[in-house]
Each structure stands twice: as structure tokens, then as C-alpha cells.
Structure 1
């Protein structure tokens, strides 16, 4: 039986769809944004003058997936673009409302396909699958839930002491997850025949939160993959000299959940001659807080996916001391770029003793200690970097595709 993939945004859904396409098992892929240069609004990049045209192209190519057959892709709605514009304007609450409205519209557009006579299973993503799964189950369809984060009941529990200690680091919109969303997530669990998560940590949070043993039994870890063609051209990393600063990198949302507070406090304790820090991503911190550390940080706003490999390859070590993470594709990308890793045990288990350091309880002290290890021991740092690209092969697209095939076989699809 073929599988239809749907996601109102993107995340790694395009890789799931591509894997199913390679297995000749993709019914269709529904999403909000898919770059096709001959269609509107993507044609605008041709006619916009100078810098504006270049900026549009950089934005549009973030959603370029040449491996996918456009005939298998179904797009609908402007909500995703409206949400992104609202975020860029700093209107985060408005963006959240648009996101919820857009998700509802997206689900409504799927109804005709779900109720059709065509035979296929459904692969949906957490936070946007409940209504579609409810309809699908009424029509006897198998539902696969790709849970991209841990259980939010555990998230609220883990983040409460962080809010007490670092309250000023949180934007007003960064609140505990409301019960309505938690209840909807639990409904998705019940509707899914298989629940897939991107890390053992994410699975543990579901096991801790759920009393229903059948939900725990239906939950499996499916490691994600990184975009290999995007990183294939990168050369092996060069050794870091003893007389140059270690260049640390952060890529992703800049939020307390991911441990940015510990990284900024740690870099402040290290002389600029010994360490530099670059942050790439959407800044979700109060500006007054971030400003305290601006003299120690090179900040780059969100960039195109195509620009990420060069940025990563220009750095020596990658930081993800996250407090709560579903997986961590950026960890795989960092390995492919030749970066040593500093990560917590609350995300994908990408780091090994040969590629970097794993910290237990994230804190300023634990992050600082790990960073100083790399600053002071260049031989270990260079050995970790030399082994990184080889370790990245464990997270290849081929492995991901084959693991999906195994999951489908275990479900009898």
C-alpha cells in the first residue's frame, strides 16, 4: 500500500516524501510551500529588481527539493507565507494565530482525498494531524504519526525551573504548552497505529507521560537524516591551530529551550582570543537580554538551507545543549561539515566519544567546561573533527529510507 504524506509547513517532511518516492510507495505529498520557479509567487524573483530579487531567491530556495517529483506534490493556501511575514515583522502572536488558522484550512483541503476510494495510508506530523487522522480512521486508513518533539507534559515539567531561574530570557509568547494542545497531542497518539520519534529522549518522554501501555508499545525511534547532496562538496576539515580561536557555532531557533542562555553566559567567560561564537537563526529572546552579549557574538538571521554548509564548514565546533529536543538534524549536518559536537543528552544521540562531548544536565558550568576542553586541547578537538564526516554517514538518506521501509513492513503495508 502506498503512503500519503502531509504537513502544513515543511520540517523534514520533504525527506520522508522523497524516501517513500524512492521506495515507489508515495501516493502524494501535501504541503503549503514547494519551490517551483515557473509558478506564482516564485516567478516574482525573476522580475524583482536587484537586491530584492536576490533576497526573494534566497527565501524561496529554502523550499527547493529537486529530488521530489512535482507531479506528486499538492500545495494549498497562503497561510504559511503570511505566518512567515508576520514572524519577520516581529508579530509572533499574530503569526501563531495565522498558523492555527492555516492548519485548519490545510486540513480541510485534505478531506476530499482522505474520503476518496483510493487506497493509501497516511503519514502526518505532530500538532497538525488530529482532524485528518480522525477522518482517516473513519474510512479505515492506517495512520502513522511522526512526532517531531517530545511529550509536552514532560516539557512543561522540565522547563518550569528554567523559567524561574531565567525568566527574563523568555518572550511573552514563550509560555508553557496549554492543556488544549496537550490533549490534542494525546488524541493523535490514540489515533495512530505507529508513533515515530527522532530520538530515544523523545520516546522516553512519551513513556513517562503516558499511562496507556499500548501507546508506549506503538512508539518507535526513527532517526532522521540530513540533506546529503547539500553537504557532499565539503572537504575534510583542516586542523585548528593552537594560536587561533576556536570558532563555535549555533544554528537554529535562539530560545531558552535549546540552552542559548548557557551558551551566552559561557562565551562571556572565555577570552575572545580563545573562542568566537556565531549564532545563525531566528532570534526569540528579548533584545535587551541579547544585547548584553552582542559584543561576543556574530549574529546572522535565518538563511537559506543552501547557505548552511559553508557556514558550518567555516566553524570548528557545534553547540546544542538543549533542554528538550525531538531530534536534532543540525547535529547531523554539523558532523557532515566536519564540526566537533557539544550536545546534551536530551536530543538526537549524534555525538560519540570520537566526535565530541555530551553533557548531562545543561547548565552554564557544563557548557563552559565542554567549550574550554576544546579550547585547551586542540589535539582532541582536531581528532573529533577528523572523525565527524565519517560518523555523519550513519545518518544518510539511504539509512533513513531503509528504516522507513522496515517500518512499513512491520505494519504490513
Structure 2
């Protein structure tokens, strides 16, 4: 199939939230191919005072990026701010304690948000002069269904980014909860309407983008034709400090193993606990940073070589990357995992599973172990503890590997998928 010239397609990018710091829009804008970024909220100069507001309103202050000109952005900020403020006031003045939200309520809210955003987006796009073969659309799952139908009628090439492996991942999580009773709250299955909305988007989109072969395999199992799937790893750009810093050789200090991310069964925390228990007689120490979704009793019963830190901000996360020797991500299922690239940029070898993207080359810049295997995880960690020269070599290789996932590389893979006369 012949391809369009890289200079002929103008992209519409639509996203709820600041996913990956607007990496898709930034990658396209950097080469002059971004027509417009549509988003639910953009923190322009008039809204900078939000940085002094209480959470969750304060988090809205980060919804912008200096590399994307405001003139390129259409945001539905007023409705989003009104909704967030209403929710904040409702929780603050409620007479009832706030408990864990049910799965039905959580995913019903995701659907409501997606429908509202997609309908507003569609209303705006209908006023634009979009031309088949000259424009293309990029959106995220559950946030563009209503728009995709109209784009298809107009002959506009569209890509929907499926950020996770869908119901295949849900089934794996439910199996883990059965295997490890009492570790997590039983929230029930995700409502069928949520999966139905995603499947409808897969059907209407020209291509379905996923970030890993594992996610592509999962979506193929759910009926997406393989020829419709497009695998594009997430883009990553290290900070100047990360790019320039070289990891010093740790010759004699205890090996420090870092977990950074939500602490739950899906990401494999049960198997890290198993590995830590197997290594309890060594000097190896484990730092577990991230919001806890496991029970307090599980944390209390963890081996003494594990330190659960809870949620950390980006500044503290940067310090942890600098402090640690090895990064672990024993995930049961992830669409990708940007943390593995962040860790590599900081010179940390990564020990992970095959279910989060093809980032690690086992034995070169880390190890790939089978999912659900605490013993294999412990063996890989111990190998680096016992051979500090191997640890140092893997550290250098990891840093080099992190540079392969640039914004420019992402844009190349995305634009190469657009056929002539799309």
C-alpha cells in the first residue's frame, strides 16, 4: 500500500485529561502536522490560580503543555470545571462518609464523561471544513464513539487508541482476586455497557492503535481484525537531568529494588511480596511507592524488607529513581507502562513480564520473567545483587534503550499507517 506524503495530512487529536502529557499532540505539532487539539480542560493564563486550590481542583492546573500553542487548542473547560467543582462541594458537605466507589458507578461515570466529550467534539467538528485525504483523527477509547460515526461518513481516516487490553485484562484481574482472597476489595465486573462502547469504537475506527503486542493479542481475541490493529509504543522524552545523569556503580551497598505505580494485583504486587519473602535473608531492600489498592492487613503482613510508601508526587518519584538500583514491574497485564521507560532513563535495569510492551531485552537491559512467578522474579533480582558488574552494564544499556521511544518515532509510526486517499 502506498503512503501519503508526511506533509499532506493534518491531524485532529482529541483527548480527555492530560494523558502522557499530550504526547500525541506534541509529536504531531513538532513536525507541523497538528491541526487542532480538542480536550476537556486546558489551563490557560486565566485559570492559573487553580494551582492554589484544594485537590482535585488543583490537579487541573497541570492540564496544559508549553510546547502546544493555545491557538491550536479547543477545550471545553467551563463544563469540566463546573462538574469538578460540583463534585468537590458535594463530597465536602456530604452528611455521609465517602466510601469505595462501586465498579458500576465508576464506569458509568467514565461513559458519561466520554459521551459528553464526544458530543461536544462532534458539534465543533461539524463546523470545520474537514477534507477526506487531507485530515485524519486520533482519539482515545470511550471518548469518541459519537464522533467516529460522523467521521466515517465524511471519509476521514480515524485512529482510536485502546489504552488497555479490554475484557481480557479484566478476566485476568478477576482470576487474581480469586487466587489472592482478601487482598483487594471485590468491586464486581465492569458494566457490559462500557465494553460495548469500546467495541463500537473499534468497529467504526479506520485503525485501532495499541501500545504493545500483548494488547494487540488481547484485542484480536475480542474480535478486532489483526489487519486493523496498529502497534505503536508510547512516546517518552527524558528530562535534561535524566539524559545527562550516569548511574554510579553500587559495589557494596544493599541492592534497592523499586516499585513505582498503583499497588494492586493487576500489576503483580502479590508476586513481589513472594519474591521479597524468598529474599528476606539477603540484604536486598524493596521500596513500594504508589497508591495502595491492597488491604492494610496484607501490607502489615509483608516481609520486613519491604517499605510501602503510599502515593508520591513527581518530585519524590524522581528522587526514588535516582536512589534505586533496579526497577520491578511484574505485571499481570498492562497496555504498556511508561514507568519502565522513566526507570531506564534513570539507568535502572527493569525486571518485568511480557505483558507490558516490548521494551526490555532480557539479559541486556533487564530481565523478562513469566507473569505470576514470584520465584523467577526473586531469581532475577538476586542475579543482579550477586553480580554488580552485570548490574552496571545493564544500567548503561537501559539508559540507551530509553532513547528509542522518542516523540518523532511515535509520529513516524502513526503517520505511516495512513493510506493514500484515506
TM-score of the aligned structures, taking structure 1 as reference length: 0.86
Q: Distance in 2 between matches of 1:142 and 1:165?
A: 43
Q: CA deviation at 1:199?
A: 0.7
Conservation of the 8 A alpha-carbon contact between 2:278 and 2:375: no
Structure 2 counterpart of 1:288, from 279, 287, 297: 297
Task: Summarize the Cα distance change of 1:357–1:220 in structure 2 as closer, same or farther, 3 Å threshold.
Answer: same
Conservation of the 8 A alpha-carbon contact between 1:155 and 1:324: yes
Task: Structure 2: give runs of 5+ residues left out of the alignment.
Answer: 1-8, 92-97
Matches within 5 A, 1:217-256: 217-229=227-239, 232-242=242-252, 244-256=253-265
Task: Summarize the Cα distance change of 1:68–1:74 in structure 2 as closer, same or farther, 3 Å threshold.
Answer: same
Q: Is residue 51 of structure 2 the alignment partner of residue 45 of structure 1?
A: yes
Counterpart of 1:72 in structure 2 is 72
Q: Distance in 1 between matches of 2:385 and 2:231?
A: 34
Counterpart of 2:40 in structure 1 is 32
Q: Is residue 123 of structure 2 the alignment partner of residue 109 of structure 1?
A: no
SS at match of 2:32: coil
Aligned pair count reads 395
Q: CA deviation at 1:83?
A: 7.5
Matches within 5 A, 1:250-269: 250-269=259-278
Q: Is residue 172 of structure 2 the alignment partner of residue 158 of structure 1?
A: yes
Task: Summarize the Cα distance change of 1:9–1:254 in structure 2 as closer, same or farther, 3 Å threshold.
Answer: same
Counterpart of 1:145 in structure 2 is 160
Task: Structure 1: give runs of 5+ residues left out of the alignment.
Answer: none
Counterpart of 1:128 in structure 2 is 143
Q: CA deviation at 1:396?
A: 1.9
Q: Distance in 2 between matches of 1:216 and 1:169?
A: 36
Q: CA deviation at 1:385?
A: 0.9
Structure 2 counterpart of 1:360, from 354, 362, 370: 370
Structure 2 counterpart of 1:204, from 214, 217, 230: 217
Task: Summarize the Cα distance change of 1:182–1:23 in structure 2 as closer, same or farther, 3 Å threshold.
Answer: same
Stretch moving more, 107-116 or 332-341: 107-116
Q: Distance in 1 between matches of 2:371 and 2:310?
A: 28
Conservation of the 8 A alpha-carbon contact between 2:107 and 2:191: no
Task: Summarize the Cα distance change of 1:287–1:83 in structure 2 as closer, same or farther, 3 Å threshold.
Answer: farther
Task: Summarize the Cα distance change of 1:247–1:112 in structure 2 as closer, same or farther, 3 Å threshold.
Answer: same
Q: Distance in 2 between matches of 1:366 and 1:33?
A: 44
Task: Summarize the Cα distance change of 1:127–1:170 in structure 2 as closer, same or farther, 3 Å threshold.
Answer: farther
Structure 2 counterpart of 1:187, from 173, 195, 200: 200
Counterpart of 1:15 in structure 2 is 23
Task: Summarize the Cα distance change of 1:16–1:309 in structure 2 as closer, same or farther, 3 Å threshold.
Answer: same
Counterpart of 2:284 in structure 1 is 275
Q: Distance in 2 between matches of 1:84 and 1:276?
A: 39
Q: CA deviation at 1:19?
A: 1.0
Structure 1 counterpart of 2:410, from 400, 408, 411: 400
Q: CA deviation at 1:272?
A: 7.7
Counterpart of 1:301 in structure 2 is 311
By percentage of residues, which structure has more helix? Answer: 1
Q: CA deviation at 1:341?
A: 0.7
SS at match of 1:29: strand
Conservation of the 8 A alpha-carbon contact between 2:111 and 2:194: no
Task: Summarize the Cα distance change of 1:96–1:155 in structure 2 as closer, same or farther, 3 Å threshold.
Answer: closer
